[in-house]
Every structure is written in structure tokens, then in C-alpha cells.
Amino acid sequence: MFLIIRGVWPLFFALALIMVGNGLQGSLLGLRAGLEGFSTPEIGVVMSAYYGGFLLSAFVMPRLIYDVGHIRVFAGFASVASSAVLLHALFPNPPTWLFLRFLTGVALAGLYVVAESWLNSTATNENRGRLLAAYMSTTFACLAGGQYLLGFVDPASFVPFMLIAILISLALVPISLTRSPTPQVEQVEPVGLRELYAISPLGFAACLLVGVSQGALLGMGAVYGTGIGLSTPQIALLMSLPYLAVVFTQYPVGFISDRVDRRWVIVWLNAIVALCGLLAIFPGPENLAFLLVLFTAYGGLAAPVYALAIAHTNDNLPSGKLLGASARLVFVFGMGSVFGPALAGAAMSLFGPPAFFVLGASAHLAVAVFALHRMTRRAPVPAEERGTFVPVGLRATPVATSAAIEDAAAAAEEPKA
């Protein structure tokens, strides 16, 4: 694996710095907003703006990269992202933060698209799968690492904002100095939403509802921790564990789903996640260990549902539409993520911190029930016609997702050659 990464180490190093900064920023802003007197619904809307910017940018950025090049886009949006971080500390009010979070989403999606498209073009058919797997693992590990930094800084000070800006700015160095040739970005024509739902109602619904759940988890988890009285180091630990858990849960889930009717895996996984969410309503700071276990299982088992939904949809698609449908599923997941933090903020304001888990558990329970319903409407896909499960990061853009699907499809065709 080290030999594979060695050829693209500037990309991995730059991505690692960005992910650490992004992991710290998400939880930091939730805490700082509370200190600044933002209401819980205001925090929810502010955190939702990030996903709106990310969603928009991920789909328009390839054209901009095609026009001006990878390095220029990366340099420009790294500057925007680092500047936006510092402006949060200078202008701590909801309207400004709403705009800045949207701008941050646009900028970071631009950085991810550059890195992911560059990574995909550098890979070969022989190492693409392992390279993308290493990328996903690095993503989750660094996002978790960013959470731990929260325990070493004062969220009420200017220091954490400076630290995030420094990390993003340093990511410019390896990218700007690399001598690797820059690739071309290919546009993928997405499948229409109506067509996508007709092809796989379950895949569509699962991506949307898991987007709501994960958007709420990543955007409002720190606010929930503050609401139940956790300290800053405890919140950092709470938010880091789901990221680490995903590194270990994706592959066992994928292994099982490739060998049985994938819908049963979706049913049971969502049922377990919903149960963990409902149980997590009751323990508080006085029973932190139990809460950490439930929170880890809740987040670590929920994330693979997104990849399961993509795999299930691809099982029902003709090969010519795999990439377009994958890009559209990223869009559907992103739409759910936009609504997640806002819904969680409103629910927590009305019913208290436990509503954070009620929202997520309800979303996953709905997926499980709908999956059972769909099993009565359509026969399972024959084992020989099922594709391969592909680990997909929650913040992966259509570039990385489509590349992973393409690699899995190519691997599935090899025995037939």
C-alpha cells in the first residue's frame, strides 16, 4: 500500500491536512455558536449552509477545473476556505456565518474535486481500488483526528480558527510544488431524479434519509454534546469515535451484502442504528461510557448504509448508467444532508437534546420499514447479477464516487473476459 501511495503522496498529504482542519471546524463552530448566543435553530440552519455550498460546488466545479486547471482551482479555493475560517471569528453573527458556511462548503468541495479527480486519473486499473480504499480510510481517520484537536484549544478564543486556516493553507504547498501532470476532468451526465427513483425507490429513499441522519450527526453532534453538559474534551471524543468506527465497519458490511440479498442488510443495519439512537436518548454525562458506545455504534453503522444504497441501486442499473446514477445519488444524499442540521436544530429547540437522536432514529427506522415494503414488490437481484459493494465516504464528491463504482464494475467484468 505504501508503494501505491508513494506516487501520489502530495495529494494524500494535502487531503490529510484539509480533513483534519475540516473535522475540527465542524465541531468548533457548533460549540462557538452556542458561546456566541446563537439559538439552536439558528445553529442548525448555519450548519446546513455548508452542505448546500458543498452540494452546489461538487457539481459545477469540474467545469471550472476544465477551464483553468487543477492547481489554480486548488490554490484559489484553499485561499477562500482559509479566509472564511478567520472571518467566522471576526464576525460572530448568524447571517454572516450562514454565508461563510455556504462559502466554506463551496471551497472545500472544490478542493476535494481537484484532489479526487487527480487521484483517479493517476491510478491504474490494477491499483485504483486499493488507492480509493486508502483514500476513504485516510478521510475518516483525519476527520477523527481533527475532533481530538478540539480538546487542546479554547473554543472561545481566536486560536482554533487560526489553526484551521494554517492547516488549509499548508495543504497548498505539496499541491503547488508537485511535478505530476494534471489530468482532465470528464463530465458525467447524471440520470434524472424521476428515472432514478423508478429504477430503485429504496436506493433513492435510503440516500435521502441517511443524508438527513448523517447531516444532523456531523453538523449538530457537538451542539447535542453541549446541550447535555459534556465538556469540550468529552465532545471531541464523542465526535471522533463514529469516524474511527466507519473505518472498521465498511468492509464487513460490504462483505456480507455481496453474498446475501442486500436489502436484508439494509433492513437489519438500519434497525440496529435506530435502536442505538433510541437507547442513546437516556444516558447522559453521568453514564458517559455507555453513551460513547451507543454513539459509536450509531454513527459507525449508519455511514455504510449510504454505500449500501448506492450498491443496491447499481444492482438494478444497466452498465451504461452506473456512473450517471452514482453522481445523482450523491446529489440525493447531499439534499438530505442540507435538511439534517436544520431539522435537528428545530427539533432540539422544541423538545430538548434527546430530539437529536429521535430524528436520526426515525430516519433509519423509516429506511428499514421501506426496505421491507420494497421486498414485497420486487424479487431479489440474482447473485450472479449483483455488483460489488464499494466503500464511499460521506463527503466524497461525485468524482470519487463514480471512480469507485467504475473500478468495481471493471473488477466484476474481469472473470468474464
More confident residue, 195 or 381: 195
For residue 361, the model assigns a pLDDT of: 94
- C-alpha of 371 from chain center: 22
Q: Which residue has the cell 453503522?
A: 301
Does the residue 145 lie in any domain?
Answer: yes
CATH of the domain at 243: 1.20.1250.20
* Side chain identity at residue 21, one-letter code: G
The top-scoring range by mean pLDDT among 61-65, 113-117, 260-264 is 260-264
- Least confident among 2-16, 105-119, 226-240: 2-16
Does the residue 185 lie in any domain?
Answer: no
Phi, psi of 312 (to 5 degrees): -65, -40
Please give the average per-residue pLDDT across 394-413, as a whole number.
58
pLDDT, tens digit (0-9, with 9 covering 90-100), for 166-194 = 999 898 887 777 665 555 555 555 667 78
Q: Is the pLDDT of residue 106 over 80?
A: yes
Those residues whose C-beta lies under 8 Å from the C-beta of residue 393, and which sit 6 or more positions away, are 135, 136, 139, 140, 400
Those residues whose C-beta lies under 8 Å from the C-beta of residue 356, and which sit 6 or more positions away, are 216, 220, 221, 223, 224, 227, 344, 347, 348
- Least confident among 90-104, 147-161, 305-319: 305-319
Q: Is the pLDDT of residue 54 over 90?
A: no
Strand ranges inside 211-342, DSSP E: none
Helix or strand run (H / E) with residue 243: helix 232-257
Confidence of residue 97 (pLDDT cuts 50, 70, 90): very high
More confident residue, 193 or 51: 51
More confident residue, 360 or 388: 360
For residue 416, the model assigns a pLDDT of: 45
* Structural domain count of the chain: 1
* Dist CA 358 CA 366 (whole Å): 12
For residue 411, the model assigns a pLDDT of: 55
pLDDT, tens digit (0-9, with 9 covering 90-100), for 132-144 = 667 777 788 888 8
For residue 306, the model assigns a pLDDT of: 84
For residue 192, the model assigns a pLDDT of: 76
* Dist CA 11 CA 281 (whole Å): 40
Does the residue 52 lie in any domain?
Answer: yes
The top-scoring range by mean pLDDT among 54-63, 109-118, 279-288, 325-334 is 279-288
* Dist CA 324 CA 239 (whole Å): 33
Q: Tell me what the pLDDT averaged over the chain comes to.
A: 81
155 grid coordinates: 473554543
Does the residue 51 lie in any domain?
Answer: yes
Phi, psi of 308 (to 5 degrees): -60, -40
Residues 318-338: b if buried by 16+ CB within 10 A, e if exposed: eeebbbbbbbbbbbbbbbbbb
- Least confident among 188-192, 260-264, 269-273: 188-192
The parent domain of residue 392 ranges over: 2-180+190-416
275 grid coordinates: 435502536
* Dist CA 246 CA 172 (whole Å): 28
**Strand, helix or coil for residue 2:** helix
**Strand, helix or coil for residue 153:** coil
N residues, the chain: 417
Does the residue 323 lie in any domain?
Answer: yes
For residue 394, the model assigns a pLDDT of: 60
Q: How many CB atoms lie within 10 A of CB 121?
A: 17
Q: Which residue has the cell 478540539?
A: 150
* Side chain identity at residue 316, one-letter code: N
Confidence of residue 402 (pLDDT cuts 50, 70, 90): low
Please give the average per-residue pLDDT across 355-375, as a whole number.
93
Does the residue 286 lie in any domain?
Answer: yes
For residue 264, the model assigns a pLDDT of: 92
* Dist CA 266 CA 351 (whole Å): 29
Strand ranges inside 230-322, DSSP E: none
Confidence of residue 417 (pLDDT cuts 50, 70, 90): very low
Q: What is the pTM assigned to this prediction?
A: 0.83
How many C-alpha atoms does 12 have within 13 Å on its Cβ side?
Answer: 19
Q: Is the pLDDT of residue 248 over 60?
A: yes
For residue 318, the model assigns a pLDDT of: 63
For residue 403, the model assigns a pLDDT of: 57
